[in-house]
Every structure is written in structure tokens, then in C-alpha cells.
Chain A
């Protein structure tokens, strides 16, 4: 299967790879939200971290990904799109937008779904840590695929 140029670009030059600290450190930091989604036995694990400034804007985002090239590209793209967005704006990113941007084929749509799940999980984690539970409808954030 041939990958699109954008997938190859993100795969070869992934943006914002990394972590804001060890698992223990980021768990304790209140300005960081972490989303860890997927499972090794399914062949995809994404870890997305957002750093939120005092005004509630996502000032930085980092990812790590165990998965195919499309999964890596989807999470790399997610970090690019998240930077500078408010939490509500970040939460409104849809997997279909990722599919379109990266020209993902049908067998790779689950990678974009996972990226959307990771975004939502990271934002939820930040809100939970800071007592900002959201009353939005969260049903679509369930990893139901």
C-alpha cells in the first residue's frame, strides 16, 4: 500500500515528538493533560500531552506513538493542530478532518479515530486535574471502534 506524501512527511519528520516528563512527573503536573489510548495488542498506542497556559490556551503539545505510519502521522498532525487552540476548539477536532488532511485510505481510518480519542482524553485529563469537568456530551469520546 502506498502512503500519501503528507503521511510520509509526518512519518519522516514527525512534529512535536516527546514528553513533558516521566509518567510520574506528568501525572503530578496540573498544567499538563495526558491522553493514552489504544493497546499494544491492537498494534496502536498513542500518547498525547497538552500543556495549557493560564488563559486556558494549549500552548504546547507533544506525542509519542507505537503504530503504523498513518498512526504516527495522525498523532503528529494532532499536535500541530492543537497548538494555540482553546480546549473547546481542540475538542472540536474531528477524525474526518485528519482523514482528509492526510488522505488516509479506509483501512487506516481507525488511526484518525485514535488521534481524536487521544485529543479528547488529554483535554479530559487536564480538566479533571483542574476541577473543570465539562458538561458537554462526551459520548463520542468513548473508544468505541
Chain B
């Protein structure tokens, strides 16, 4: 098989739409174009059939009932609806009462689509605890338990982290929340479709997911909303025609939803073998790089980590220049949402990775369409590039001369 360059190792940012998904979507642009809200003619009925099939496909992937699936524009919207909608519904006091309206628990290294809604709620009278993860990025049930208060109304902890892949103790955190009568939301964007999910045995009340992370189209996602034990209610954010049980008004994105459903069906069927394949590719990638270079560090939890995400710090080399050197590999420094800024990753900083190493870290994320040849190529290009940049690096010289660069008085600028 010939290698086509550049190679795509940024599957945690987005994935290529699977051709089988595109094929399933196509008729819904030109043939089955009705509005599923049109209850009085066949155009609406067949469109609705497509949507309801997709709803079942999504529910099956999550171990949920299809009535528990709300379609949205993606995981950012799902997070906003879940967090703001639950906080508003379960608030202990009305807005403007001057009292604490309720306590929310999240973590410092969550995605911005969780952190920013939480910050908004702080301005609106809620109190938020941001848990500090361990050095491996893990949030445990014990950490959540220790932060619980009598007035805690919502816990939101991502299933697995997007930058480092560490998998949090979701079933245990969920069990704790159910014991305390607290609503539990998890951002499953990186987890769903890659790892087996059962919202019942995993004790999840609200789960956000996105289409384009699992080989579906962009602009579509879903929110799982538990209907039994407990029945979770949300205050709608977007109001209008009352679609999606009133929780998310707006004409349904039928083509996107059909694509999301098909992507979920494929994921259900292929997940087990794909997980093994990705894990073996990543093991090869990481062992190749760590064997070929000194002073590298794999970030995240050693075992509790998603099989497709690899985040490595390369000492004495700056991440952006390394990406420039590895121009045939598409990868990421920080998450795609923040890589336009020059700040080092706040996720790695939350883990206690030093600022110097946080500037020296790159994430490679593998996917369904990556091959072993690509991994071999990446190992070679990364090693070559790091060596080239270390030749240029004054810090590497100092390191070789035995100078401790953390002891130098740098002029921070």
C-alpha cells in the first residue's frame, strides 16, 4: 500500500466522514427532503422515519431507550443544554435571590464547552468546584465525593479527556451521584463510539456526544436525557417549535441526524475489533518514539486511556516548531479549539506538567482510516525532526552540559 501524504493523525479533532455514512445521507438531501414536523403528508412521514431510525441507532450504541435521545448541533450544544438546563431546572433558589442557587462539581481540565457554561452559571448565582486532577489526569469518585455538599445539584465530568485520553471513573461517579440524588452529566465526545457504553450500568443521567468524532458529519450531535430513575428534566435553552420533547426547538437536521445514526450503527458493529487495532497501532507509535529519543514523556494515565490518543512531551523542543518540522503529519498542540492561541495547554498545566514541557507537547490521535505504514512513517519523521530541533535548541545544549534549566533566572516575557 502506498503512503499518501500528509497523513492525518488528528482524529480527536475531527474524523473523516465514513463513505457508508455519506451514502446513507444522500437521499435525504434530494429525495426525502420533507420536514419531519410536517405531520399531514408523506414527505414529512418518511423524513420522520429516517430520524426515528437514527434515534434508535444512537440509543442502541448508548444502551438507552430511543425516547431518551435529543438531537442537537453537536457536543458543545449538548453540554450547554445539559449543564445550563439542569442547573436552571434544579436550582434551589430563583435568580436574583442573592442566595447560592446550587453547587456544581466539574474539573479544571474539562473541555471549554463545559468550563464556559459553568463560568456563566457562577455569574448567575451558582457555585462551582473545579476538581484538580492527579498527574495522570484522572478524576476519581473519591475526589467527587470529597467535594460534595448538601446543596450540590449537578456533577459534570467528561468520560475521557480530549487531549490526553485519560478515562475517568464514570460508573463510580454516577453511582455516587445517584446515592446522593445529584444529577450526573458526562461529556462523552471522545468516548462514545470508541468504547462500550451502557448508560444504565454506567449510571449516567445526561451524556453529550458528537457526530464528527465518530466518522459522522459535522454539525450534528445528541444529548442522552435519562427518563427513568431518575427522570431528568431540563429547562430548554433554544425555544420555538417545541421539537425534541420541547428541549430543543428547531427544524431537525435530517441529513445530519441520518448520518449520525448510521455512524453509530457502524461503530456498534466494528468497535471491538477497531479498539484492538487502534491500541496496537498506538503502542507501536509510542514505543517507537520512546525507544528512538531520550527525554520524552507520554502524558496521561498509563492504562486508563483511550486507545487512539497519544500525547507526548518532547523535552527541549517547542511544539509549534516541531509541528512545522513534521509537515507531513497532521497533529495538534493543545486542542483544536485553543491552538490558535499561544498559551500552552491548560489541560497539561492542570496535570502539573511544567510550562516548558507543556509548550513541548503534541497530541497524535489515530482513527479508522490510519494504517501501520503511516505509524512507521510518523515514528521516523518525529524522531528526525526532534533531533534536528534539538541541534538548534540552547536548552538541549545546557541539558547536555549538566545545567539545570529550571535553576536559570529566565526573564519571563
Contact = CB atoms under 8 A, between A and B. Distances in A.
A43 interface: yes
Nearest to B358: A41
A131 interface: no
A45 B320 contact: no
A69 B392 contact: no
Which of A37, A42, A66 has the most B CB atoms < 10 Å from its CB?
Answer: A66
A110 interface: yes
A45 B392 contact: no
Contacts of A110: 413
A132 interface: no
Contacts, number: 89
Interface in A38-89: 38-47, 64-69, 71-72
B89 interface: no
Nearest to A76: B392
Contact of B393 (A36, A64, A69): A64
The majority secondary structure among interface residues of chain A is mixed
A23 B401 contact: yes
Which of A11, A24, A38, A43 has the most B CB atoms < 10 Å from its CB?
Answer: A43
Interface string B388-408: 000111111110010101000
Contacts of B405: 40
B344 interface: yes
Contacts of A45: 394-395, 410
Given A17-B392, A41-B356, A72-B392, A66 B318 contact: yes
A42 B395 CA distance: 13
A107 B342 CA distance: 8
A71 B319 CA distance: 12
Given A23-B403, A64-B397, A66-B316, A40 B391 contact: no
Interface string B304-341: 00000000000011111100100000000000000000
A19 interface: yes
Contacts of B394: 19, 36, 45-47, 64-66
Interface string B285-320: 000000000000000000000000000000011111
Contacts of A19: 394, 397
Interface residues of B, number: 28
Contacts of B324: 3, 11, 68-69
A145 B321 CA distance: 21
Contacts of A11: 321, 324
Contacts of A3: 324
A38 B355 CA distance: 13
B412 A65 contact: no
Contacts of B413: 37-39, 42, 44, 110, 114, 143, 145
Contacts of A37: 411, 413
Contact of B321 (A41, A42, A72, A107): A72
Given A46-B394, A71-B321, 4 more contacts: A14-B392, A19-B394, A19-B397, A67-B321
Interface of B: 316-321, 324, 342, 344, 354-356, 359, 391-398, 401, 403, 405, 410-413
